[in-house]
Amino acid sequence: MTDFCSLHIRSDVHAKLPEGFLKSRRKFQIVFEDNESPERLACFDRLARKGVHKRVGLPRYQWTFSSEGFVNGFDVYEHLRWVLDQVHADFLLSQLQNLGFQCLLQFYWEGNGTGGGPLVTPQIAELLVQHSVGLQFGFYLEVEKD
């Protein structure tokens, strides 16, 4: 696992993203999920049998893409910039939210368990405020490979 940033977009009412929202889809893969599709319902059922339950209020539709494989290193700003650069300049995530979408940025931070972590710089804060979007950090222990 490497450090990367992902954008999660969710909606209960929209099954498609607005036309022209993203600059180009050729560079990266967008994962789309319909949480009411037979496949997803079967997955939720399997998880429930293992004691893992579907989050209450989870919107029906979800799109996700990330900087994984496109940005190297652990510079949070560079990963955020890459993800947000995929959004057409005419759009802000706040505009999407005004149309009934939920947006969340998530950063997967891998460390060795000795402490430390990312620094939210003024540049990062400015990007988040500009788009009116939150940034969630997930911390994962790096497993050494023999």
Q: Residue 83 falls within a domain, yes or no? A: yes
Q: What is the pLDDT of residues 21-69, one digit of tens each?
A: 998 767 788 999 999 999 999 999 999 999 998 888 889 999 999 999 9
CA proximity to 119, closest of 80, 84, 72, 85: 80
pTM score: 0.86
Range of the domain at 66: 4-141
Is residue 132 packed enough to be buried (19+ CB in 10 Å), middle (13-18) or exposed (0-12)? middle
Domain count, the chain: 1
Q: Residue 111 falls within a domain, yes or no? A: yes
- Name the percent of the chain lying above pLDDT 70: 97
Q: Over 60: is that where the pLDDT of 1 sits?
A: no
Q: Residue 146 falls within a domain, yes or no? A: no
38 Ramachandran zone, left/alpha/beta (phi>0; psi -120 to 50)? alpha
